[in-house]
A and B are shown apart, each in its own frame.
Chain A
Amino acid sequence: MLSKRSMVISGILLVAAVVVPTTVRADDLPIDFNQDIRPVLAKNCFACHGPDENDREAGLRLDDRGVAVAELESGSIAIVPQHPQQSELVSRITSSDPDLRMPPADSGHALKPAEIKRIEQWINQGAPFAKHWSFANPVHWPPPDVNQEQWPLTGLDYFVLARMEAHRLQPSEMADRHALIRRLSLDLRGLPPTPHELESFLSDERPDAYGRLVDAFLADPAYGERWARVWLDLARYADSKGYGSDPLRTIWRYRDWVIDALNQNMPYDQFTVEQLAGDLLPDPTFEQRVATAFHRNTMTNTEGGTDDEEFRVAAVRDRVDTTGQIWLGLTMGCAKCHNHKYDPITQKEYYQFYAYFNHTADNDLPTEAPTLKVPVPEISERIAQIDSEVAVLQKQLERLKDEEQSGQDQKPKPKSKRIEQLQKQIDQLKKSKPALPTVPIMQELAGDKRRITKVMIRGNFLTTGDEVHEQTPSAFHEFPEGAPQNRLGIAYWLMSPDNPLTARVAVNRIWARLFGNGLVVTEEDFGTQGELPSHPKLLDWLAVEYMRSDWDTKALLKLIVTSATYRQSSHVTAEAREVDPQNRWLARAPRFRLEAETVRDQAMALSGLLSRKMHGPSVYPPQPPGLWRAAFNGKDRRWATSTGEDRYRRGVYTFWRRTVPYPSMATFDAPSREICVARRIRTNTPLQALVTLNDPVYVEAAQGLARRIMLEGGTSVKQRARWVLQLCLVRIPTDAEIDEIVSLFKSERQHYSAQHEEARTLATKPLGAAPQGLDIADLAAWTVVANILLNHDAVLSKG
């Protein structure tokens, strides 16, 4: 803060000179309403003196200057600009009388002395208000001046460097190529680089080698799989219905749609329109209708005695809340029971917005209707084949029947037996006909079936108030002219260039996945309760760049990953850590633990077991027995462990049951996907260590890696140790590291050479018999080494 003030100090001198001609004190520096005042008022005062008129005390609202400076019912005035002593607000927050003191003790809030002082200064300075930062349109700020002009590589670096310099921080040196390729590969593809990719990059002497690497990774289909993971948390995608016994749901075709859309680099506006309202586009394609499954990921309740309407309402609300979260970064859900306490959304406006989503045909039914049939070539062929066989038999049958009838004979009929046989055959064939998988979709109700929307009092679906109609909240930008008053119109409204939030929220999300934290840390809340951006101008600049590129997501990613900011080393000195422990000012690259799916995918890749097969129904990699024994789930109690390559697919294809999430991923902070999750909170627990040490999935990966060591890693122990360290860490190992591996191998080799059965077990169960010619004690000892390396901090982290 200090340095920011020093930057503007020359401007202040002029202002201050007018007010206090003799001395300039720190007190006179101008207070920034959005930075210094609104967060304090929002946290401590808005609940009773904010936008919600139903809970407003004393008629005072502190989110509206007009009211705050006007005379209240009591005759007093909360804020008298330039006169803190006459302001009721100040006398109440400084009062020593507990009955008068604000905020009241039982609210659990209290103002700090520094906050009180700032409020006084701000009133002294005329109490200027400003629009909440995120509700003002982003500006394409010119890059700020910096001292180290040779450092920036892209426009964004100027913004970052300016903040660094203001905090007297030095950017770190650029990371070496080893570190860069691993970082880039994990960020863009969720997989480590292969030894071959590493070799080619190290030997690529062209000046644009790094840019080419970025392009190659963005073009890899693994890119779509990695970034789909991010979107699927937001879309609360899961393979089960959630409530009650959490029955299974077939909706994987939507997951594939997301992967493909990302791989095709579908512009974010189209990506949005198709998911929210693909069915309302003129002559929607099959893919556009599949996209609408986005909002069919809501939970349904098939439990006995439940009211379908209650859960349909819950689903529609979830669609409203999720839409608000993903595109606006706002917690609209707060307004379903009462007016929003902090952001300008009234309860009525909530239900006006709700009305847009209240006209779809789905109704919490066990059938999931309406659904689309998903063509799967093998199944379609089989169906066609059976249909033609049935047609042939049917003809025969009819002919026989005709003959029999025309015979008109009373004697026993030899043909009737044949007819019976044929009929049976036809029935069997029909029975054996496989069904095409389905995907639930959004479908708008026809005119006369459209629902009436009413405000729900205190959020209760049974007690309704006034009827409302489709309308967007009044504090936001205009509804686009000529856009239809339905979901399609909402999609256009969200993607309108006048919308100050969508682009900011989107670029912040991408930034957060790369840097570990968003420029706005509270990715889910850009409202007044959310945190302020660390680099407001950078956020704006990126948002405008993204819009100007016509929402080209790969271009945005390329812009960020080619920046000098991104390419810094993640080494940190004690001093730098002291100054900026959270790395808010980005004077180094972040270093943080990989997310659940990447921990798995990387282990699969290093072990050589990874299957790169894409698409299709979700798969069942091994998990401990008995976990699916949830209540009431008669037929869905069995986890049918996949065989063949499906055992080794990427985590994005793992079957996701909401009430029993895949245990190792849940341990690594994967959410249950019951509701939209904007960011996963990273934790570091011993249970994670138990997963990567002992889960048979990771033991199998260690076995695979051990075989690679022996088959690909050279012949001597030292060669192999160097090879596997380099493979896993993606850097040149130190002698100390090699020695550590060599001595671990030797001690375990000795142990296992005397323990033949144990060695065989550790080296082959569950992966299967060892390849010909490999010594089993060697293999067991290398399995121990591999197991440890899959738990190495550098392997589990991205640096």
Chain B
Amino acid sequence: MDLTDLHLRAVTRRHFLGNCRTGVGALALASMLRQEQASGRTGGLQENPLAEKAPHHPPRAKHIIYLHMAGSPPQHELFDFKPKLVEHHMQPCPDELLANQRFPFIKGHPKLLGTPYKFDRCGESGTELSELLPLFREHIDDVAVIKSMHTDQFNHAPAQLFIYTGSPRFGGAAMGSWATYGLGTENQNLPGFVVLISGGTDPSGGKSLWGSGFLPSVYQGVQCRTTGEPILYVSNPKGMNRDVRRRSLEALRRLNEIELQQFGDPETEARINQYELAFRMQMAVPDSMDLTRETKQTQEQYGIEPGQESFANNCLLARRLVERGVRYVQLFHYGWDMHGTNNTNDIITALPKKCAEIDRPISALIADLKQRGLFDDTLIVWSGEFGRTSMNEERNGSKFLGRDHHPHCFTIWMAGGGIKGGVTWGETDELGYFVARDKMSVRDLQATMMHLMGFDAHRLSYPFQGLNQRLIGPTDEARVNHGILA
């Protein structure tokens, strides 16, 4: 399927608005589009690049919630238990592991670091999990844990960019942009690709992590906030209430209709529609972002902090947005860069706090999605941008325990839409340094996610700078990991 053509396909204004209003929405519109494609009709004047489109094959995941722990959590403390590492705790790291390795901060000859935390086999699947995530343990049979992830980037920004845009350099299109480019979105009153940041610091990769790169900017992620304006400029100017806004937009519409008659430019009609959408967005966004509309019970289940920026708030928001038809929700949590240079980034004091911040909200999110029948259509991915070393970093002789950046292995998990629960995929060597079995690369992750959304990642492309640009890059190494698919 040639998506550049597809995205020129149009929906007439009436169809478009009709669907939005009645909310019959999704299926009817998608099938209408398919019919249009089949008949080769290029549609009316209106181009709505975010209208729903049919992918290569029926999707397993209609929505995606990606939970990113910026800084990268230590896999050895959470998922990848290595008795050998505990046994050799504080013994020098074997020389052969250090040959030809570069580390951002480790200098000299580092010592191995065994985890101080207890692990248990959990659920019916017996997946091994750390004591740091007690509530998450209850959902482990719904989750596929992948211990054999690896990347080729060991600094935050490039590694994050690599995961989200397929390139460690700036300029690529984010996965959420690819998703909305390929699939469109269900609810035209809300952005199709939303980004939620917990507070603290933004991820190092910055806005490029949700930028549309070479794709049209209509596909870029829109950052929503729980403090201040939920979307930039969504609030009317001070001193202008909703009625004034409505009356003035009606006048604007009539003026633009005069313009349309005079010049006959289809862009004018598109603009008239965009202003109607903007007005509806002004109504819909504050409502979607208002957590006080949730029951007390739900609020407590997630542990939200009204009026604050928090990961818990964002998990609940993610559910509200997905429920309203937002295609792709990207969360960034901060502060996972556990180097052990002081007690705000060590694995004894800081790490348990970070885990406590996510344990309840993530568990609530899974339970809530299931309860509302959204879980099977919603893919949840949890990851950092790389792994952490098997050795203690000990920067400048620090007495705090911590781990440096490590690209050769890390653990992520996936759940929901199309994922087989209770699976543990891949294995690392006995010191948790390299992948020993069933490697899964960042490109494999991308191909697998695209597959669940209904795309062959090798075929989903956009022509730019002489190349058919793809999320998975120019080479053909990306493989869908069928081992974790339901």
Determine whether the beta carbon of A793 is less than 8 Å from that of B259.
yes
> Given A299-B170, A686-B281, A695-B233, A342 and B239 touching (CB < 8 A)?
no
How many residues of chain A get a CB closer than 8 Å to chain B's CBs?
A: 99
> Given A625-B228, A793-B271, A799-B265, A659 and B233 touching (CB < 8 A)?
no
Give the complex CA separation of A658 and B70 in angstroms.
Answer: 20
CB within 8 Å of A: which B270-285 residues: 270-272, 274-275, 277-278, 281-282
A470 CB–B CB distance under 8 Å:
no
Determine whether the beta carbon of A686 is less than 8 Å from that of B277.
yes
**Chain B neighbourhood of A530, CB < 8 A:** 466
Nearest residue (CB) in A for B152 is A460
| Contact of A244 (CB < 8 Å), options: B157, B233, B458 | B157
A572 CB–B CB distance under 8 Å:
yes
> Given A624-B229, A689-B278, A762-B240, A524 and B465 touching (CB < 8 A)?
yes
Nearest residue (CB) in A for B222 is A687
**Chain A neighbourhood of B211, CB < 8 A:** 672
Nearest residue (CB) in B for A780 is B239
Determine whether the beta carbon of B252 is less than 8 Å from that of A342.
no
B467 CB–A CB distance under 8 Å:
yes
Determine whether the beta carbon of B466 is less than 8 Å from that of A527.
yes
| Contact of B262 (CB < 8 Å), options: A304, A571, A658 | A571
**Chain A neighbourhood of B236, CB < 8 A:** 693-694
Determine whether the beta carbon of B169 is less than 8 Å from that of A314.
yes
CB within 8 Å of B: which A277-334 residues: 299, 303-307, 314, 325, 330-331, 333-334
A525 CB–B CB distance under 8 Å:
yes
| Contact of A683 (CB < 8 Å), options: B218, B233, B277 | B218
**Chain B neighbourhood of A658, CB < 8 A:** 170, 206
> Given A529-B466, A685-B274, A740-B254, A303 and B155 touching (CB < 8 A)?
yes
Proximity string of chain B (223-244) to chain A, C-beta cutoff 8 Å, 1 when within and 0 when not: 0000011011111111111011
A592 CB–B CB distance under 8 Å:
yes
**Chain A neighbourhood of B216, CB < 8 A:** 681, 683
B90 CB–A CB distance under 8 Å:
no
Give the complex CA separation of A299 and B206 in angstroms.
Answer: 15
Determine whether the beta carbon of B264 is less than 8 Å from that of A574.
yes
| Contact of A693 (CB < 8 Å), options: B202, B204, B208, B233 | B233
**Chain B neighbourhood of A672, CB < 8 A:** 170, 207-208, 211
B463 CB–A CB distance under 8 Å:
yes
| Contact of A737 (CB < 8 Å), options: B255, B275, B334 | B255
Determine whether the beta carbon of A748 is less than 8 Å from that of B247.
yes
Nearest residue (CB) in A for B237 is A699
CB within 8 Å of B: which A599-646 residues: 624-626, 629-632
Determine whether the beta carbon of B274 is less than 8 Å from that of A305.
no
> Given A632-B201, A672-B211, A591 and B267 touching (CB < 8 A)?
yes
Determine whether the beta carbon of B259 is less than 8 Å from that of A331.
no
**Chain A neighbourhood of B171, CB < 8 A:** 674-675
| Contact of B255 (CB < 8 Å), options: A307, A314, A573, A792 | A792
**Chain B neighbourhood of A659, CB < 8 A:** 205-208
CB within 8 Å of A: which B27-47 residues: none
> Given A793-B268, A796-B271, A342 and B466 touching (CB < 8 A)?
yes
> Given A629-B201, A669-B217, A760 and B234 touching (CB < 8 A)?
no
**Chain B neighbourhood of A793, CB < 8 A:** 256, 259-260, 267-268, 271-272
A343 CB–B CB distance under 8 Å:
yes
Determine whether the beta carbon of A629 is less than 8 Å from that of B202.
yes
**Chain A neighbourhood of B235, CB < 8 A:** 694
Determine whether the beta carbon of B232 is less than 8 Å from that of A690.
yes
**Chain A neighbourhood of B204, CB < 8 A:** 244-245, 303, 630-632
Give the complex CA separation of A667 and B217 in angstroms.
Answer: 8
Proximity string of chain B (358-374) to chain A, C-beta cutoff 8 Å, 1 when within and 0 when not: 00000000000000000
**Chain B neighbourhood of A630, CB < 8 A:** 201-202, 204, 206
Number of A-B contacts (CB under 8 A): 237
**Chain B neighbourhood of A305, CB < 8 A:** 102-105, 154-155, 405
Nearest residue (CB) in A for B170 is A674
Proximity string of chain A (522-561) to chain B, C-beta cutoff 8 Å, 1 when within and 0 when not: 0011010110000000000000000000000000000000
CB within 8 Å of B: which A210-265 residues: 242-246
> Given A672-B170, A686-B274, A748-B248, A577 and B266 touching (CB < 8 A)?
yes
A519 CB–B CB distance under 8 Å:
no
Determine whether the beta carbon of A246 is less than 8 Å from that of B206.
yes
Nearest residue (CB) in B for A797 is B267
B114 CB–A CB distance under 8 Å:
no
B436 CB–A CB distance under 8 Å:
no
**Chain B neighbourhood of A331, CB < 8 A:** 465-467
Q: What's the minimum C-beta distance from B86 to chain A, rounded to whole angstroms?
A: 27
Determine whether the beta carbon of B202 is less than 8 Å from that of A631.
yes
Nearest residue (CB) in A for B470 is A108
| Contact of B234 (CB < 8 Å), options: A574, A625, A690 | A690
Nearest residue (CB) in B for A590 is B265
CB within 8 Å of A: which B162-201 residues: 169-171, 191, 201
Give the complex CA separation of A314 and B169 in angstroms.
Answer: 9
**Chain B neighbourhood of A245, CB < 8 A:** 204
Give the complex CA separation of A257 and B463 in angstroms.
Answer: 34
Task: Say which one of A198-206, A481-489, A783-791 lies at the interface with B.
Answer: A783-791
**Chain B neighbourhood of A693, CB < 8 A:** 233, 236-237, 245, 278
Give the complex CA separation of A737 and B260 in angstroms.
Answer: 13
**Chain A neighbourhood of B207, CB < 8 A:** 659-661, 666, 672
**Chain A neighbourhood of B98, CB < 8 A:** none
Q: What's the minimum C-beta distance from B16 to chain A, rounded to whole angstroms?
A: 13
A747 CB–B CB distance under 8 Å:
yes
Proximity string of chain A (754-790) to chain B, C-beta cutoff 8 Å, 1 when within and 0 when not: 0001111111010000000000000010001101100
> Given A527-B466, A748-B244, A791-B275, A696 and B201 touching (CB < 8 A)?
no
CB within 8 Å of B: which A667-704 residues: 667, 669, 672, 674-675, 681, 683-691, 693-696, 699
Proximity string of chain A (585-597) to chain B, C-beta cutoff 8 Å, 1 when within and 0 when not: 0000001110000
**Chain A neighbourhood of B461, CB < 8 A:** 108
> Given A527-B466, A758-B239, A784-B240, A792 and B267 touching (CB < 8 A)?
no
A794 CB–B CB distance under 8 Å:
yes
Proximity string of chain B (99-141) to chain A, C-beta cutoff 8 Å, 1 when within and 0 when not: 0001111000000000000000000000000000000000000
Determine whether the beta carbon of A686 is less than 8 Å from that of B217.
no
A751 CB–B CB distance under 8 Å:
yes
Determine whether the beta carbon of A593 is less than 8 Å from that of B247.
no
**Chain A neighbourhood of B282, CB < 8 A:** 690
**Chain B neighbourhood of A760, CB < 8 A:** 239
Determine whether the beta carbon of A734 is less than 8 Å from that of B264.
no
Q: What's the minimum C-beta distance from A584 to chain B, rounded to whole angstroms?
A: 15
Q: What's the minimum C-beta distance from A26 to chain B, rounded to whole angstroms?
A: 22
A18 CB–B CB distance under 8 Å:
no
A106 CB–B CB distance under 8 Å:
yes
Among the interface residues B191, B201, B251, B461, which one has the most CB atoms of the partner chain A within 10 A? B251
Determine whether the beta carbon of A784 is less than 8 Å from that of B248.
yes
> Given A304-B104, A305-B155, A631 and B201 touching (CB < 8 A)?
yes
Q: What's the minimum C-beta distance from A663 to chain B, rounded to whole angstroms?
A: 6
Determine whether the beta carbon of B206 is less than 8 Å from that of A660.
yes
Determine whether the beta carbon of B237 is less than 8 Å from that of A762.
yes
Give the complex CA separation of A306 and B235 in angstroms.
Answer: 42
**Chain B neighbourhood of A736, CB < 8 A:** 258
Give the complex CA separation of A669 and B241 in angstroms.
Answer: 29
| Contact of B247 (CB < 8 Å), options: A685, A687, A747, A765 | A747
- Ordered by A's residue number, 20 sampled pairs between the chains whose C-beta atoms are within 8 Å are A242-B170, A303-B155, A305-B104, A331-B467, A334-B466, A524-B464, A525-B465, A593-B267, A631-B202, A658-B170, A667-B217, A683-B49, A689-B278, A694-B233, A695-B232, A696-B237, A760-B239, A780-B239, A793-B256, A796-B271
Q: Told that A245-B204, A693-B233, A694-B234 touch, could you supply 8 new A-B pairs with CB distance under 8 A?
A: A305-B102, A306-B155, A629-B201, A661-B207, A672-B211, A681-B216, A690-B231, A694-B237
Please list the 8 inter-chain residue pairs (A to B) with the smallest Cβ-Cβ separation, ordered nearest first. A305-B104, A659-B206, A762-B239, A761-B239, A331-B466, A674-B170, A689-B278, A686-B278
